[in-house]
Amino acid sequence: MKKELYDQKDRLYADALRFWYASLYINFGTLVFLLVTIFISWPSLAWLFGFVTLLSPIALLGCRVIFESKFREADRCKRLLHYVDSLGIEIPEAEAACLLGYPSRKPVKITYDGPFYVSLSEQGIRRLVDNTRESAFFTFKLAGHTRNYSLAVIGLMVITVFVIFHTILSTPEDTKNIVNYAKSAAGVMSFLFTGDIIILCLKWWGMQNEAEKSYNTLNDLLKRANITVDEAMRAVEEYHIAVIQGAPIPVKVYLRHRDSLNAAYQKAHGIKGE
């Protein structure tokens, strides 16, 4: 049963991320299509862009709804396995049946390890807090890296707008492409201020802050000789709420920083690596 839930979690996360990536491709693809349409004055291309503009919000909404549904179920799987590993409880058959019965694709290459925890504590409340502290450490570090990447994208877009404006100001008024430059600047600016990139950046920023707070809270709890169930569950659930309200961490960011974060966490907490 446990192995089936691990596999289902990986499939649901992979499915959810496919739809999340698709929504990003729709957003950025529409901007690129707009810029191409501005500089290539083909009537048929303009008609096609109008058709794409009409359908893209519907496709974007559909991708986001499916993503949120699958992501919630994947997170539900992850939390259940988290409690099983930490507390040593039996997997509730009714809940497992609901999760395993949720539609997902055939087995795919696993994109998320785990959940794998290095805690040496015995199963119980202390291990639950220890495991959650490790998860919070990874979350706030990875969210910070992802936020920085998104800030770089935003900065690049702002620089692009300034370059376009500089080109407009330094180009003779009778130049044919000056109108196209102005349209391009308007397109990039509208995408920047109405698209998802700023919203995603703020979500990653918020998730980093909340996960870091949870990490510090859990770390303080582990310094105490006794941890009450109420204190532990409150801290753990606050962390889980922060994660579910944030934006997903791209797989490539996770894979790029996984080993260095593992080493840093184990070194900081005096855990001997394998």
Model confidence pLDDT, tens digit, residues 144-166: 999 999 999 888 877 877 776 66
CB-CB contact of 273 with 263 (8 Å) = yes
User: Among the three residues 85, 109, 133, which one is the final residue of a domain in this structure?
Assistant: 109
Region of 158 please: left (phi>0), alpha (psi -120 to 50) or beta.
Answer: alpha
C-alpha 13/C-alpha 102 separation (Å) is 12
Same domain, 3 and 92: yes
Same domain, 141 and 270: yes
Mind listing the pLDDT tens digit for each residue in 200-224?
889 999 999 999 999 999 999 999 8
In angstroms and rounded to an integer, the radius of gyration of the C-alpha atoms of the chain is 23
Peptide bond preceding 115: is omega within 30 degrees of 0, i.e. cis? Answer: yes
More confident residue, 8 or 181: 8
Instruction: Name the residue type at position 224.
Output: R
Which residue in 57, 64, 61 sits closest to 20, CA to CA? 64
Same domain, 77 and 36: yes
CB-CB contact of 18 with 104 (8 Å) = no
> How many domains, the chain?
2
Same domain, 71 and 163: no
User: Among the three residues 79, 109, 139, which one is the final residue of a domain in this structure?
Assistant: 109
Phi and psi (nearest 5°) for 119? -60, 135
Average pLDDT over residues 170-188: 63
User: Domain containing 81: what range?
Assistant: 1-109
Same domain, 152 and 225: yes
C-alpha 263/C-alpha 267 separation (Å) is 6
Q: What is residue 175's predicted lDDT score, i.e. its pLDDT? A: 59
CA distances from 217 to 65, 186, 199, 232 (A): 33, 45, 27, 10
Q: What is residue 110's predicted lDDT score, i.e. its pLDDT? A: 45
Question: 47-62 b/e with 16+ CB inside 10 Å = b?
Answer: eebeebeeebeeebee
C-alpha 228/C-alpha 79 separation (Å) is 20
Q: Which residues contact 49 (CB under 8 A, 6 or more apart)?
A: 33, 34, 37
40, with CB counted inside 10 A (0-12, 13-18, 19+), is exposed
> Is 118 within a domain?
no
Lookup: tokens for 9 = 């979690």
Q: What is residue 115's predicted lDDT score, i.e. its pLDDT? A: 46
pLDDT of 167 strictly over 90: no
pLDDT of 136 strictly over 90: yes
Three-state secondary-structure class, residue 106: coil
C-alpha 23/C-alpha 250 separation (Å) is 13
pLDDT of 137 strictly over 90: yes
CA distances from 12 to 19, 82, 175, 180 (A): 11, 16, 53, 44
Q: Which residues contact 176 (CB under 8 A, 6 or more apart)?
A: none
Same domain, 148 and 196: yes
Phi and psi (nearest 5°) for 123? -60, 135
C-alpha 47/C-alpha 38 separation (Å) is 12
User: Among the three residues 83, 109, 135, which one is the final residue of a domain in this structure?
Assistant: 109
Mind listing the pLDDT tens digit for each residue in 12-68?
888 888 898 888 888 777 777 777 776 676 777 767 777 777 787 888 889 889 988
CB atoms within 10 A of CB 139: 22
Mind listing the pLDDT tens digit for each residue in 67-114?
888 888 888 888 888 888 888 877 777 666 776 766 655 544 444 444
pTM of the model: 0.78
